Amino acid sequence: MKAAILEKTTCLEENRNPLKITEVPDPSINDGEILIKVSACGVCHTELDEIEGRTPPSTLPVIPGHQVVGVIVERGIQVNKYKLGDRVGIGWINSACGVCPACLSGNENLCPDFKATGRDVHGGYAQYLAISENFAFKIPEIFSDVQAAPLLCAGAIGYRSLRLTNLVDGQRLGLTGFGASAHLVLKMVRFRYPQTKIFVFARSEKERKFALELGAVWAGDTSAESPEKLHAVIDTTPVWKPVVEALKNLEPAGRLVINAIRKEEIDKEYLLQLDYPRHLWMEKEIKSVANVARGDIEYFLNLAAQMSIIPEVEEYALNEANRALMELKEGKIRGAKVLRMG
């Protein structure tokens, strides 16, 4: 099969083509697994973290990609959840132990044996992918393959982030950064919390304009002060500056939820600018989001279908994977980026 492979971690400023497009053997499956013919795979900022070593793959070489949509073309003899021809999606969560307290409580994302698609095992930047039937998700018919791909990570982790804000309808929400995940959160909030006003902070004028088009009441630069204090802020950026800047805009007892697997080191000095009275005093909180559980993906896919959430998508061929990654790195974003196979 054709695949895009990461052979070693590298700095994208020095190597603009980190993935090698090549032929590799088709994956084989065991008794409890399904083989998926991949039709689409979303491009996520987490791939940048893998390539540049902030969340390095546990083994190399590896095929990245964890927002995967395709059709089942083979199944193991113990598979009973799906049949041949079913369309399914694969997210960041590839497996978990199933027996630890986190797994038993439905929080497999916190399992010490958590394994990630496209980092710890081969992912969806390829024509085929094998996975346990228990970590595949039925795709609602309302979505095309390309539309469904970003929902599996950007959408699902956006949903978990929103849930962790403890937002009440009518409270004010901030979104700092406005890429794939944040634009889906905005759509979700407008449906679930119709009285909530949404304030967007983004470094790009194009992103701010896009946010206003989707229904934000205000959009400003990352370092701007919002015209009203906010009850919660979701940070979807890869850097530290927006975290510090967001804290100053919170109401007393407000909560900042950080939706990022890692933060880059380039602006770490901003942490030294934390001013306790201005940024943290009055019982403000900071909450991180660690991956997603299966329940997050299942619930969000059904919610997205109910809401008819259709992501904004830019499409690329598999052999354009490096270009899509570099555009993501350089902030050339409108909605989500998706690789289309075939």
Per-residue model confidence (pLDDT) at position 267 = 77
Helix (H) or strand (E) holding 145: helix 145-148
Predicted confidence (pLDDT) per residue in 174-227, tens digit? 999 998 789 889 999 999 999 999 999 998 899 999 999 999 999 999 999 999
Q: Is 195 exposed, middle or buried (0-12, 13-18, 19+ CB in 10 A)?
A: exposed
The candidate with the shortest Cα–Cα distance to 158, out of 121, 124, 194, 184, is 184
**Superfamily for the 2-150+292-340 domain:** Medium-chain alcohol dehydrogenases, catalytic domain (3.90.180.10)
Is CATH 3.40.50.720 what the domain over 156-288 is classified as, yes or no? yes
Per-residue model confidence (pLDDT) at position 197 = 98
At residue 175, what is the residue type?
Answer: L
287: which DSSP letter?
Answer: E
Per-residue model confidence (pLDDT) at position 335 = 79
Low-confidence stretches of the chain (pLDDT < 70) are none
Per-residue model confidence (pLDDT) at position 158 = 92
The candidate with the shortest Cα–Cα distance to 155, out of 92, 219, 211, is 92
250, two tokens: 């919170």
Q: Is 105 exposed, middle or buried (0-12, 13-18, 19+ CB in 10 A)?
A: exposed
276, two tokens: 């306790």
Question: Which residues belong to CATH 3.90.180.10 in the chain?
Answer: 2-150+292-340
Contact of 162 with 186, CB cutoff 8 Å: no
Count, residues in the chain: 342
Contact of 145 with 44, CB cutoff 8 Å: no
Name the percent of the chain in helix, strand, coil, to the closest 5. 30, 25, 45
The pTM score is 0.89
Contact of 228 with 174, CB cutoff 8 Å: no
Predicted confidence (pLDDT) per residue in 226-250, tens digit? 999 999 999 999 889 999 999 999 9
Question: Which residues belong to CATH 3.40.50.720 in the chain?
Answer: 156-288
Q: Cα separation of 242 and 233, whole Å?
A: 10
Sequence-ordered list of residues with C-beta below 8 angstroms from that of 189, at least 6 positions apart, any chain? 162, 167, 173, 196, 198
Per-residue model confidence (pLDDT) at position 337 = 95
Per-residue model confidence (pLDDT) at position 154 = 86
Per-residue model confidence (pLDDT) at position 118 = 97
